[in-house]
Amino acid sequence: MKLRQKLFLAVGLFIACATLAEAHAFLDYADPEVGGTVKGSPSVVKIWFTRKIAGASSKIEVFDAKGAEVDRKDAQVDTSDKHLMSVSVPKLPAGNYKVVWNAVCLDSHHTTGTFTFEVAN
């Protein structure tokens, strides 16, 4: 077997073993959108992640412009789609809100992040 073939084989085996992994999760997209403006209050803040999330230690918190937590503290991972985590919020008045998320993957690697959105009348 030539050196080039051996190298391709080694890389192929490496990637094949690796695709079984489920580690760091990053925000894929969110509703309300990152940095976006929504007309009227959302009832739920949803985040889709790039990896499956473990429910036990993962959470989403929503804060108003004064830094007070306004979510209902019921963050949960969707049972049918473990890439999706959500938290419900009461009717939010117009203003800017900050979302703080903490995602723990099935292999216990965790990532955190923040973004803001605006509620307009």
Tell me which residues touch other proteins (CB under 8 A).
14, 17-19, 21-24, 26-27, 29-30, 33-36, 50-51, 57, 104-105, 107-115
Residue with smaller CB distance to other proteins, 16 or 68: 16
As measured in angstroms, the least distance from the Cβ of 92 to other proteins is 19
Give dist(CA 24, CA 110) in Å, integer. Answer: 6
35: left (phi over 0), alpha (psi -120 to 50) or beta: left
Rank residues 12 and 90 by Cβ distance to other proteins and give the closer one.
Answer: 12
Residues 6+ apart with CB under 8 A from 24: 51, 105, 109, 111
Nearest distance from C-beta of residue 25 to other proteins, angstroms: 9
Q: How many CB atoms lie within 10 A of CB 92?
A: 19
Q: Minimum Å distance from CB 59 to other proteins? A: 13
Compare residues 30 and 77 and give the one whose CB is closer to other proteins: 30
Least distance (Å) between residue 96 CB and other proteins: 9
Q: How far apart are alpha carbons 24 and 109 in whole angstroms?
A: 6
